[in-house]
Chains A and B, each alone.
Chain A
Amino acid sequence: MSEDDNRLVLNSRARAILDGLPPDDRERLERLMEQAAAGQRRMLETALEDAVRMVPSPLRRRVQKLFLG
């Protein structure tokens, strides 16, 4: 998974504040945002695997479809 997968897209108001920070501070905050996104992504991936196991087997294919779109 590339680092871009965890990059967050901020609204214009929040983006303006982020862009106005000194470069070091901006980088630190962006890193924390990416870490938060990465953490959430990991939790979702694990939860999906576990949830599929808990679903009664006739429903499993439907559940997988829900997440594959």
Chain B
Amino acid sequence: MNDPAARAELEKLARILDTDTASLAFLDYLEAGQLRTLREGITDALFEKFRPSFSGFARLSSLLPLTISAKISERVLGPMLSGRIAGEMPPDRAIELSSRLSDTFLADTCLELDPERAKPIIAGFPVARSVAITRLLLARGEYITMGRFVDVLPDETLFAATDAIDSGADLLKISFFVEDSQRLDAVIAHLDTERRRAVIDAAAAEDLWPEVIATLRRIGPEARHALAELALAQRAEILDSLIRAAAEHDLWPSLLTIGRELPDASVERLADQPAFDDARVVRSVIDSVVANDLWDALQTQLPLMGPTRCARLLEVAATERRAFLAEFGQRVTAEDACADTLRAGSAHLAAPVRAEAAAASGRTTLAGLIAEPAAG
């Protein structure tokens, strides 16, 4: 499964069904949106099925002194049932009861709580306690749960919890599971440049580029520009890791889309990286353009790639991906912005390769551009 968002949804669905992700591998062809609809439907159905019992326990709690209610929660109900019952309790009572429960138990309960249903409780929950629970969840690597809480936490709590997370990698892993992109925008706006850079460093160091790209696709244009520009301004080894991750995980559809919104200089800097000399990388670009119908994006961005990269693309295509040239040939016209780049790129090719590329392009304008390269 290549789509990180779909992978995140499968993990969340597995948790709702009290199973592991491997048991749901048979659903890996579904899109993220379909999996989310299923997950939300199953969550609601499980809740509604047993709602009378949850309501009964919620009413029971209001009949009893807090100390006994707290004992029943921790010793009898456990985190799963307590999480579901909390959604049926008056928020004030639930918050009062939580003050008698341990941080560890509350962290366990967070795993089972439906944040949407518990929104009124979360809104009134003490900030300091939320931060303490954040630290516990973080120590356990509970990124799914933390991501789901980002959607509903009030700003003050969200920012305090964000400040309690030191690692850029942790922030990135959590962001992957956040559903409301506006909340992600808010978190990114809260991060200073140093912390944003730490997120990008973490992506390169821990091979988390799919998570970064998935996040970039979902956030608002302002936050996307800021993060993408910062990423493309990083040192060469970071850009190299981005390009190789894009080749490995087929991130080109997202990268090409994001690239269209960025300043030319940022895209040119990425295209300038030596990784684009690697035939495996070039093949992955070609295969992604064909598989994902990215012809327009390729034609738009070829001029930014420059003649040298264009020559490498033609060379790899001429020797290993002739069908790509045949189809590209059907699309390129002499008026296209990429025509000059193609002609200039062809001038870098050895004569036999140029002849191969022109032949593979059929009787098209592209073949003419390749066969008659720009002088000098």
Residues of A within 8 A of B56 (CB): 48, 66-67
Q: Which of A15, A44, A67 is B81 in contact with, Cβ under 8 Å?
A: A44
Q: Take A13-B37, A14-B38, A40-B46 as given contacts and tell me if A28 and B60 are in contact as well, using a CB distance cutoff of 8 Å.
A: no
Total number of B residues with any Cβ neighbor in A under 8 Å: 38
Residues of A within 8 A of B16 (CB): 36
Q: Take A25-B27, A40-B46, A40-B50 as given contacts and tell me if A51 and B38 are in contact as well, using a CB distance cutoff of 8 Å.
A: no
Residues of B within 8 A of A40 (CB): 46, 49-50, 80
The 10 closest A-B pairs by CB, nearest first: A14-B41, A8-B45, A50-B76, A67-B56, A10-B41, A66-B56, A36-B17, A44-B53, A32-B17, A11-B41
In the complex, A8 Cα to B40 Cα: how many Å?
Answer: 13
Residues of A within 8 A of B24 (CB): 32
B22 to chain A, nearest CB (A): 12
A46 to chain B, nearest CB (A): 8
Residues of A within 8 A of B80 (CB): 40, 43
Tell me the residues in window 48-82 of chain B with beta carbons closer than 8 Å to chain A beta carbons: 48-50, 52-53, 56-57, 59-60, 63-64, 68, 71-72, 75-78, 80-81
Q: Is B334 an interface residue (CB 8 A)?
A: no
Closest A residue to B42 by beta carbon equals A33
Q: Which of B17, B26, B76 is A51 in contact with, Cβ under 8 Å?
A: B76
Q: Is B18 an interface residue (CB 8 A)?
A: yes
Q: Take A25-B26, A44-B53, A66-B56 as given contacts and tell me if A11 and B44 are in contact as well, using a CB distance cutoff of 8 Å.
A: yes
Q: Take A11-B41, A59-B64, A66-B59 as given contacts and tell me if A54 and B71 are in contact as well, using a CB distance cutoff of 8 Å.
A: yes
Q: Which of A33, A50, A69 is B52 in contact with, Cβ under 8 Å?
A: A69
Residues of B bordering A, CB below 8 Å: 16-19, 23-24, 26-27, 30, 34, 37-38, 40-42, 44-46, 48-50, 52-53, 56-57, 59-60, 63-64, 68, 71-72, 75-78, 80-81
Closest A residue to B16 by beta carbon equals A36
Q: Take A25-B27, A36-B17, A54-B75 as given contacts and tell me if A9 and B48 are in contact as well, using a CB distance cutoff of 8 Å.
A: yes
Q: Which of A17, A24, A47 is B30 in contact with, Cβ under 8 Å?
A: A17
User: Contact: A32 with B23, CB < 8 Å?
Assistant: yes
In the complex, A41 Cα to B57 Cα: how many Å?
Answer: 14
Q: Which of B30, B50, B68 is A54 in contact with, Cβ under 8 Å?
A: B68
User: Contact: A13 with B76, CB < 8 Å?
Assistant: no
B61 to chain A, nearest CB (A): 10
| B-side interface mostly | helix
Number of A-B contacts (CB under 8 A): 102
User: Contact: A10 with B50, CB < 8 Å?
Assistant: no
In the complex, A10 Cα to B43 Cα: how many Å?
Answer: 9
Total number of A residues with any Cβ neighbor in B under 8 Å: 37
Residues of A within 8 A of B68 (CB): 54-56
In the complex, A21 Cα to B27 Cα: how many Å?
Answer: 9
In the complex, A63 Cα to B61 Cα: how many Å?
Answer: 10
User: Contact: B64 with A17, CB < 8 Å?
Assistant: no
User: Contact: B77 with A8, CB < 8 Å?
Assistant: no
| Sample of 19 A–B contacts (CB below 8 Å) | A8-B42, A8-B46, A9-B49, A10-B42, A11-B44, A17-B37, A17-B38, A17-B41, A28-B26, A32-B19, A32-B23, A36-B42, A40-B49, A40-B80, A47-B57, A54-B71, A59-B64, A66-B60, A67-B53
User: Contact: B50 with A44, CB < 8 Å?
Assistant: yes
In the complex, A24 Cα to B63 Cα: how many Å?
Answer: 47
B343 to chain A, nearest CB (A): 49
User: Contact: B72 with A51, CB < 8 Å?
Assistant: yes
B113 to chain A, nearest CB (A): 14
Residues of A within 8 A of B78 (CB): 43, 47
- Apart from the given pairs A33-B42, A40-B50, A55-B60, 9 other A-B contacts in the complex at a CB distance below 8 Å: A8-B46, A11-B41, A25-B26, A25-B27, A40-B46, A43-B81, A44-B81, A63-B60, A66-B56
